Structures are given as structure tokens and as C-alpha cells.
Amino acid sequence: MPQETPAPSARQTELLEAAYRYALTHGLTDLSLRPLAEAIGSSPRVLLFLFGSKDGLIRALLARARTDELALLDRVGHPTRPVGLAPAVERVWAWLAAREHRPLLRLWAEAYTRSLVHPDGPWTGFARTTVEDWLGVLADCQSPSEREGPDAAIRRTLALAVLRGALLDLLATDDEQRLTEAVAHQVALLGD
């Protein structure tokens, strides 16, 4: 029988949320416990006690970021009433392009890259899990006939590649108009 993980305490949840807000602003790459603890009204010792280690805290922050990502994906995908791949890409891009989501998306890009460069440690599997999550949502958006077609996985993969590439360019350049036009062009091709 698998051992259940105890529910986090109210203080652990409070500090995780504060640390998450801090990470959205400052990122995770150069995360140091002392400045983080000071910024969120705690101490390094308390953070280590609650999260086990710095890596444990980073894993908790990545899980928290994934919760926000999955909430977005849940709003896009409607498995009981598929919207189609092209409309799903439009919806996802509209969310990705919204300026207020940039802090989360920068954190996502940082974690995705770190997962590729440092495959061990707290980043383990983050990039792969993200790809699987997004491909699953895009599949849920396809009608049953579209989802099972011979090129269904290829179309989802292409849609994800366009979204991810456009997102990275947006974070690098802030050129929302050019990238929105590029995504719209790809959406038109997906509709064919």
C-alpha cells in the first residue's frame, strides 16, 4: 500500500505561495534561501524544515507553477465538447500572449530549459511532463474523428511546436503583433 504524503500545514502553504510570488519576479536559477526567506518573512531554517532542502522547495515551486499551467490547460480543453485543434491553438495563444501571464511564462521557460540542461535534481522531468500535458489537452480539444485520424498526433505536435516557439520568441522580443500573425497563419493551415 503506497504511503500517503501528509497534507501541507497552513504555514507551509502560506510560505509556498509567498515563495511562488517571489519566484515569478526573480526566477529560480539563482535562488538563494537567505534573500528568499527574508523577502517572504521567514528564515532559511524554517524553509529547510518545511521543504526538506532547497531542491525540495524548488520541486514544490515547480509543482505550484504546474498547477497554474494545468488550470490554463483545463480552461482550454473541454473533453466532453471538443472545440477543434485550430480554435484550441487560438485560445491557448491568446492566453500566452496576454501580458499579465509573462511572469508565469518566464518561470515556465526557465524551468523547461533547466530541465533539459540539468536532467537530475529538482528539474527532473519538468520539460517532458509539460509536453505530455499540452499534447493531452490538444488531443482533448480534437473531435473523436480528428483525434484518431492518421495524422492526428503530427498535427498536435506541430501545433504545440508553433505555440512553444512563438512563446519563446514573445518572451525574447515582446513582438506580440508579429507572433500573433504567425500563429494565426498556422491556425489557418491547421484548419485545412
DSSP secondary structure of the chain: -PPPPPPPPHHHHHHHHHHHHHHHHH-STT--HHHHHHHHT--HHHHHHHHSSHHHHHHHHHHHHHHHHHHHHHHH--TTS---HHHHHHHHHHHHH-GGGHHHHHHHHHHHHHHHH--SGGGTTHHHHHHHHHHHHHHHHS-HHHHTSTTHHHHHHHHHHHHHHHHHHHHHH--HHHHHHHHHHHHHHHH-
Mean pLDDT on 118-137: 89
For the segment 81-92, what is each residue's pLDDT rounded down to a tens digit? 778 889 889 988
pTM (2 d.p.): 0.82
In this prediction, residue 191 carries a pLDDT of 73
Mean pLDDT on 29-41: 92
- pLDDT greater than 70 at residue 4: no
Q: How confident is the model at residue 120 (pLDDT cuts 50, 70, 90)?
A: confident
